[in-house]
Homo-oligomer: A and B are copies of this chain.
Amino acid sequence: MTAATYDVLGIGNAIVDILARTEDGFLSGQGMTKGAMALIDEARAAAIYQAMGPATEISGGSAANTIAGLADLGARTAFVGKVRDDQLGNVFSHDIRAAGVAFETRAASVGAATARCYVLVTPDGERTMNTYLGAAQDLSPADIDPAQVAASSIVYLEGYLWDPKDAKEAFLKASKIAHDNTRSVSLTLSDAFCVGRYRDEFLDLIRSKTVDLVFANEAELTSLYQTEDFDSALTQLRNDATLAVVTRSEKGCVVAAKDKVTAVSASPVKQVVDTTGAGDLFAAGFLFGTVRGLSHEDCGRLGALAAAEVIQHIGARPQTSLKALAKAAGLPV
């Protein structure tokens, strides 16, 4: 195995978030499922935007948020995702590069506009997402650079990649290249409804060891095994996965290895402002610990710390130095 150029390469949907505060009544009035991510077409996107209040635009995308968090912690990172060569694509590209991430995926010069996610944040801080995939639909295996994947210690993939039509092929291509080069592959299950759409394929990815490390939250885990019983689902996941991390919001997380399960507490939070990106930033912290060879407990603590930062402000990218926060918390970064 040659020395890696990148600690983590992320592959995901390149999305700009359009965030607005709202009340619960707006969600029900619009037929939205609170806390979930719904895929929408262009007409629905226009209707939602028309109905929602004044907004803020901040780069998002699940894996992209994770990679931005990793870069902030000091990891060497790269991202692969598809934007259009339009103003919002320029915003996405600027923000991820300005975060210190290598981002070289060619922007589409024709076709749909850059992906947007209309994020409605209720007074409890919960986010409800409506994603227009647009140009992100066009991510294909041709966008995967074998040399870049081979030069990355960890390839991190989002389950949401099962939604665009050719992205799963890109995902599988990257995964194979990574393993052929003795690199490791991580996957987030992304969303309980996403798990509902692709349950069998996700289980197959895990059982076939196409992925080495799985991130899930409680809802995704119980959706995966179609049970309401957390412990039963966790037992099944331990049986299927090489390593898994399950986040449980304010209850912290469990790191489930074959030989042991490590529970880690959540980090203290003054006020939950916007949960957008909580899982993404948890993964950033955990992967950073992994890159640095830390214990499962310290990986979990780093994940909790990064998640706590991002839910205390609007938007899914860190606004405070995660490295400084981790140092202040006594973590070996």
A-B contact pairs, 23 of them (CB 8 A): A20-B98, A21-B319, A49-B94, A50-B94, A52-B98, A53-B98, A53-B99, A54-B59, A54-B68, A54-B95, A54-B96, A54-B98, A54-B99, A54-B317, A55-B95, A56-B56, A56-B57, A56-B315, A57-B57, A57-B91, A87-B87, A87-B88, A87-B113
Residues of A40-62 contacting chain B, CB below 8 A:
49-50, 52-59
User: Which B residues are in CB contact (< 8 Å) with A94?
Assistant: 49-50, 54-55
A169 at the B interface (CB under 8 A): no
The proximity string for A residues 162-179 relative to B, scoring 1 for CB distances below 8 Å and 0 otherwise, is 000000000000000000
Q: Which residues of B contact A59 (CB under 8 A)?
A: 54
A86 CB-CB contact with B under 8 Å? yes
Smallest beta-carbon distance A54→chain B, Å: 4
Find the residue from A52, A53, A54 having the highest chain B CB count within 10 A: A54
Chain A interface residue number, banded: 20 to 34
Chain B residues, Cβ within 8 Å of A21 = 319
Distance between Cα atoms of A58 and B56 in the complex (Å): 5
Q: Which residues of B contact A96 (CB under 8 A)?
A: 54
Residues of B within 8 A of A57 (CB): 56-58, 91
Nearest-neighbor residue (CB-CB) of A320 within chain B: B21
Partner of A98 from the list B55, B68, B86, B98 (CB cut-off 8 Å) is B55
Q: Residue of B at shortest CB range from A21? A: B319
Nearest residue, chain B, Cβ from A87: B87
Q: Which residues of B contact A86 (CB under 8 A)?
A: 87
Return A328 CB to nearest CB of chain B, in Å: 17
Q: Which of A57, A317, A319 has the most CB of B within 10 A?
A: A57
- Chain B residue with Cβ nearest A86: B87
A137 to chain B, nearest CB (A): 18
> Which residues of chain A in 239-285 are interfacial with respect to chain B, using CB atoms and an 8 Å cutoff?
none
Q: How far is the CA of A317 from the CA of B57 in the complex (A)?
A: 13
Measured CB to CB, the nearest residue on chain B to A18 is: B91
Of all A-B residue pairs in the complex, the 3 with the closest CB atoms, nearest first, are A57-B57, A87-B87, A54-B95
Cβ of A58: which chain B residues have Cβ within 8 Å of it?
56-57
Once the chains are docked, how many angstroms separate the CA of A105 from the CA of B59? 29
Q: State which residues 58-117 of A face B: CB under 8 Å.
A: 58-59, 68, 86-88, 91, 94-96, 98-99, 113
User: How distant is the Cα of A113 from the Cα of B90 in the complex, in angstroms?
Assistant: 13
> A319 to B94, alpha carbons, bound, how many Å?
26
Q: Tell me the bound Cα distance from A198 to B59 in angstroms.
A: 38
Q: How far is it, in angstroms, between the C-alpha of A99 and the C-alpha of B49 when the chains are bound? A: 13
Nearest B residue (CB) for A59: B54
A113 proximity list for chain B (CB < 8 A): 87
Please measure, in the bound complex, the distance between the C-alpha atom of A54 and the C-alpha atom of B79, giving whole angstroms. Answer: 15
With a cutoff of 8 Å between Cβ atoms, the chain B residues found around residue A52 in the complex are 98
Q: How far is the CA of A236 from the CA of B24 in the complex (A)?
A: 54
> Apart from A54-B94, A56-B56, what are 9 other A-B pairs with CB-CB below 8 Å?
A20-B98, A49-B94, A53-B98, A53-B99, A54-B96, A56-B57, A57-B58, A86-B87, A87-B88
